[in-house]
Structure 1
Amino acid sequence: MTGAAPQSAMMSVLKVLRSGEPVSRADLPARTGLSAGTITSTTAALVKRGLIVERKAAAVGRGRPRVYLELNGAGGTVVGARLSERRDLQVSFVNLAGVELHSTTMPIHLTGTLSGLAQRIASALQEAISLAPVGGIRQVSLSLPALVDSERGDVHFMMTYRSEPVPFAAIIAERILLPVTVENDSNLLSRAEHWFGRAQLYDDFTLISVDYAVTSARYSNGLPCSGSSGFTPELGHVKTSYGPSARPCYCGAAGCCSAYSSMGGLVLNPDEWAEATPSLLDLVDERMDRLIHAASQGEPRALQSLADAGEHLGRLVADHINGVDPGMVLLIAPDELYVRFARDQFEAALTANTIPELRRRTTIVFATRSPDWHWKGLAALALERVYLQSDRASLPAGAAFG
């Protein structure tokens, strides 16, 4: 990592300090793989920006007290907000050390357009910020269950709304007069896992989330990785079946992995997807519970449905490993029973379709969501934006960042 770009070097240092252990500059080369010179310049820049502080240890004997570095929790506050699938806004206020200071949930009334939804979220954020017992807000980050251009902060598609590019970040920033970034939920989940969870030790990994749909996100060299247009990888819409019998997907195509392996794909038909509303998610939950129960009772059709889900997921992961060599794939499943009934066919499809040497070099981890992934992902998203901005003092009020 001695040739790491400044952003990567900065994030490497901050990740070590995030562990909460006493760390000195002399410790950092071994902990990060960066050269001593890079450590000196990087930590000096972080101290100057108020993101980290120096703390002298108590003197021992006649020697000079050791100086430790730590994240500057008093350096400001970031706000993370997530619009849930059921359309409420979960808002967390976090200090620069990643500690949650305050949280609240704001109801969001549905509107007919994405631009109208942006205005309603802006109003809810204004109210949440005005009532919060914290100040010094430096960044607001919003996560949506949508197709998002994270570079520009535009939302291009969200179920129940007309497909159109809407400058979500700019609309909200103009109202609340704070920098705003917008991401989708899979990138939020990947950040929660990278900063606080099972991917902390991996600078390169792919997260695949099996939920109402199959979604995904990637990290490369310790930073989120998007495509040239700013979009998160949509691995759920990689085709794992072809021909006239391929199952239709809610995206309008057929044969997508999401149509076979997601909860929605398992228990809904295309017409029901087309009428997607928040109440539809309750129907998915109810039907999925019945499917899992039937499989637990040994019902053949239920067992076959979940085996098929595993097979298509295995094909997807195999193609991804062959094409990308991600190093680690973290699969987030709806629950442990989904893993139990789908895993054998998943492993069989993975083994049959992956180049053997690449399979041996790839770590595959199955897991379920941790209960606090929302605020941890939101915290990581907002803090990441603060950390990676080179000079916040020069920014005009209301500037928006994707």
Structure 2
Amino acid sequence: MSTRRNFIAGAGTAAAATLLTNVTTSAANAAPAAAPAGNGDVSTDQRTARDNILQVDTDMRTNYDILRVNVAQQLSPVIVVENGMQGGKYTLVLGGQRFVEEPISEIFKLAKSIAHVPLGIFSVVAPYLDARIPDGQKNMYPHDLAMVAYAGPGKTDWVDPLTKFVTDLDTARRTLEQAGLPDDLKVSCAHILDAGMTYANDITRRRTFDMKGFEDFTGKIADDIKTNMYWAAKVQIEAVKDLFGRWKDKVGADNWHELYVVVLSMWTTSELNQNSIIIKHLMDADMVDSHLIDLPCQAPSIANAVDVALDNLARIVQDNIAAQMVFSTDQQLADALKGKPDLLSQEILKLLGDSSATSATAASLACPFHSKLKAQKTVRAAAV
């Protein structure tokens, strides 16, 4: 159940603690402001009046930030997952302590590394594609292709970087036997490397390429790439299951029920994220919708990822309580404060005359916690 506010990928607990100190000191030292009297200048009086009104929101945000900093320090148990090349860095926050592990076998990285061969070649040659979509290719936006193929065909600036990439492919291929890979993974890696070098050497020799030829190359190794994906997924599942089993014992069954998990990922992998898919099977089933949070951000490039996760989770947790107290007579608005919709979304939809979107939005983005409670009440009523 993510907060309606935009996630902040920069404010960590340390920065927030500094804010708390500054805000608290300022609040303690500041004398109550006297309401200024009007001076007869309408425009000045209006500006002053508006500034007084805006000060109310400034005060609210200051107090909200103080609460958020303190709530972040109370959060427990929480698991923060940072997606990355290694498959995932996991941090358990429990009673003020942090336990950090990177549990996933290197097989994960090795399998993905070779599966990325076609993407590596694409990254070099893409700017020099012909921006005209060939017959039979119906799943591309012409404008997107034009922006990627910004250099256009006819130039050969891609030859040198592609030649260097082939050198790395060749080195990996010649030492593949010594890598200690499972047999079927070793075979698929060999096929991908061989096909990649053959294609790259061919277009380098001819100093030209086209989209059709590239698609023919990738089509031949599609099954091999799937084999690599299988192995990456297999070792990841095994490692995360083992880790969660050990951490569940550390947390205890009762506290585990209240576990929050925050998965940090890039926007392009935030839906059906690999870690989230696994984790939802390891949490208490009735808590997944409200306590498993996918947080799109600049991961894995942010340095203070755990602090960012806790900062956002603090917003979510305090909004859950604030929503029911501030909007005690309007559950739809309470759900908006708890969940993903902006508070103004329903009013905007109404004013735009988008009635179908209004009901659809309410149904699809309603707070999972409230939806769960509603379902439980329905079940109890049916039982009676």
Q: Which has the higher contact order (CA 8 A, sep 6+)?
A: 2
Fold similarity call, TM over 0.5? no
Which one has a larger percent helix, Structure 1 or Structure 2? 2
TM-score normalised per structure 1:
0.31
TM (normalized to structure 2)? 0.32
